[in-house]
Amino acid sequence: SQKIEQNSEALNIQEGKTATLTCNYTNYSPAYLQWYRQDPGRGPVFLLLIRENEKEKRKERLKVTFDTTLKQSLFHITASQPADSATYLCALVTGGFKTIFGAGTRLFVKA
Amino acid sequence: NAGVTQTPKFRVLKTGQSMTLLCAQDMNHEYMYWYRQDPGMGLRLIHYSVGEGTTAKGEVPDGYNVSRLKKQNFLLGLESAAPSQTSVYFCASSYYTGTSSVDEQFFGPGTRLTVL
């Protein structure tokens, strides 16, 4: 069956460190992969998009990698800050109009 | 711009009651979506629309109906609410890209619905 997996356990890191979140998928051939941030009680907010022919994408302190052989995307936040604490969702766009979302990983950055 | 707005923010229903959730966007987006989000699960697509007057089923459409009479509005209806429909409902919209919704989706703040 088709599956997207993100670490269900929360990730706790110290301020200033790099946070790395993982998104694994099976039985998909996504054309694009997106990452969203969701704060408690709010809707998701788009962060980055990476295409299947791109290995890496950066935006300020954020970096996303996409390995279609491993079927995995890694999301990095460098020099993390307490304000980065949130739930991060990965989403696969396989074509058409349907986006498949993972359940998300909660990140806590301690000051 | 207000972006994507949803009405109401909270609602409690009894089993069998009906209600309509309203989503409005002021970004002139062609595509609009309704998702539900449950603990431990990803956002699941209920219905979507690729333009005014058109709708299509998503992953979990049973028990819901939708309408897109105006481009800026997308309504989600529950005809006979069930406890299994207790969830947080998100509306989203995105730009027209020609073939698929690969662009970012803009989400509303959500509606928390409880069915007793």
Mean pLDDT, to the nearest integer, of A91-107?
A: 85
**Residue A1 pLDDT > 70, yes or no?**
no
Reference A4, options A19, A22, A20, A26; nearest CA is A26
- Kindly state whether A87 is in contact with chain B, defined as any CB-CB distance less than 8 angstroms: no
A57-97 per-position pLDDT tens digit: 999 999 999 998 899 999 999 999 999 999 999 998 876 66
B94-112 per-position pLDDT tens digit: 986 665 545 789 999 999 9
Would you state the pLDDT for residue B99? 54
Choose the closest CB to A31 out of B58, B102, B106: B102
Say whether B21 sits in a helix, a strand or coil: strand
Rounded-to-integer distance, Cα A73 and Cα A25, Å: 9
Would you state the pLDDT for residue A97? 66
Rounded-to-integer distance, Cα B23 and Cα B21, Å: 7
Would you state the pLDDT for residue B103? 74
Q: Which residues of chain B have pLDDT under 50?
A: 101
User: Whole-angstrom distance between the N-terminal and C-terminal Cα of chain A?
Assistant: 41
Mutant choice from A99, A100, A106 vs B, greatest count of B C-beta within 10 A = A99
CA A95 from centre of chain = 19
Choose the closest CB to B42 out of A31, A43, A103: A103
Instruction: Look at the block and give the residue holding tokens 């009479």.
Output: B69
Rounded-to-integer distance, Cα A45 and Cα B95, Å: 15
Would you state the pLDDT for residue B102? 59
pLDDT band for position A8 (50/70/90)?
confident
pLDDT band for position A29 (50/70/90)?
confident
